[in-house]
């Protein structure tokens, strides 16, 4: 099975778990795309839900596809959020933000009674740190913020668009992709140290947010970790 077929399979499966009356949080990325696609189909078949998006890209897909979207400012809590991850370990701790939406994704996940994470097997990790750690940083004095992080031993590059421009998040911030070394990465400590630097808005470490994990394997099998 191709990775894209796996993403379609687990996204569709997660879409089938949504129930009438729910307020649903929509993740961001190529896996969440299939979850949103399935919800679009189910809404056309009569499913009654309302949804909030974690990015303008997901908002556009869902809105264009006929999912009733509501302003997050009018939401007290979300019943279920479905999103993917760049890396997830056995304790369901994650690195997210490959799509640059980590801040809104974390807020939406935090507002949710349940978060289901859908990943293909390539995202599974024994120890977080294989992928780069996206960190959202305000544009003001971003070079200084970067050098402050370097002094603490965290180095990386600002994310750029295909045209070579600085990538800008939906919040008007930048993403610094930090290179980690799994051997020396201590996610909780690193998260706190990085967050202490003024100018850092949020890191892509997600702790204690994922409840259920749906894993899709290349041989077509699907595993659910509760």
**Positions that interact with ligand 5RP (CB under 6 A):** 27-31, 83-86, 96-102, 105
Task: Verify whether residue 45 is a known catalytic residue.
Answer: no
Asked whether the beta carbons of 58 and 26 are under 8 A apart, the reply is yes
> Of residues 41, 73, 87, 105, which has the active-site annotation?
105
Q: Which of 102, 129, 95 is nearest to 28 (CA)?
A: 102
Task: Pick the closer one to ligand 5RP by CB: 47 or 210.
Answer: 210
Spatial separation of the C-alpha atoms in residues 203 and 213, rounded to whole Å: 21
Nearer of residues 62 and 101 to ligand 5RP, judged by Cβ: 101
Minimum distance of ligand 5RP from residue 104's CB (angstroms): 9
Residue 46 Cβ vs ligand 5RP, minimum distance, rounded to whole Å: 28
Q: Which is nearer to ligand 5RP, 148 or 217 (CB)?
A: 217
Closest distance of CB 7 from ligand 5RP, Å: 6
12 to 42, 83, 189: CA distances (angstroms): 10, 12, 36
Taken in order 121, 113, 172, 93, the sign of the CA dihedral is negative
Minimum gap (Å) between residue 96 Cβ and ligand 5RP = 3
Q: Which residue is nearest to ligand 5RP (CB)?
A: 98
By the 10 Å C-beta count (0-12 exposed, 13-18 middle, 19+ buried), 45 is classed as exposed
Is the Cβ of residue 99 or residue 156 nearer to ligand 5RP in the bound state?
Answer: 99
Q: What are phi and psi of 51, to 5 degrees?
A: -135, 155
**Which are the catalytic amino acids?**
105
């Amino acid at each position: 099975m191709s990775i894209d077929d796996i993403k379609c399979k687990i996204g569709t499966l997660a879409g089938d778990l949504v129930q009438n009356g729910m307020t649903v949080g929509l993740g961001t990325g190529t896996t969440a795309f299939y979850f949103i696609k399935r919800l679009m189909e189910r809404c056309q078949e009569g499913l009654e839900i309302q949804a909030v998006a974690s990015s303008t890209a997901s908002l556009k897909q869902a809105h264009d596809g006929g999912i009733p979207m509501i302003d997050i400012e009018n939401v007290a809590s979300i019943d279920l959020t479905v999103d993917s991850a760049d890396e997830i370990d056995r304790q369901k701790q994650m690195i997210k933000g490959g799509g640059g939406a980590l801040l809104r994704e974390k807020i939406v996940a935090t507002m949710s009674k349940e978060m289901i994470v859908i990943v293909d097997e390539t995202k599974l990790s024994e120890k977080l740190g294989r992928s780069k750690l996206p960190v959202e940083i305000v544009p003001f004095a971003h070079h200084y913020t970067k050098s402050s992080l370097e002094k603490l031993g965290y180095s990386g590059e600002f994310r750029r668009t295909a045209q070579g421009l600085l990538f800008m998040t939906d919040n008007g911030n930048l993403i610094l992709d930090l290179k980690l070394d799994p051997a020396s990465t201590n996610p909780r400590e690193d998260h706190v140290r990085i967050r202490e630097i003024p100018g850092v808005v949020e890191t892509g470490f997600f702790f204690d947010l994922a409840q259920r994990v749906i894993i899709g394997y290349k041989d077509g099998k699907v595993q659910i970790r509760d």
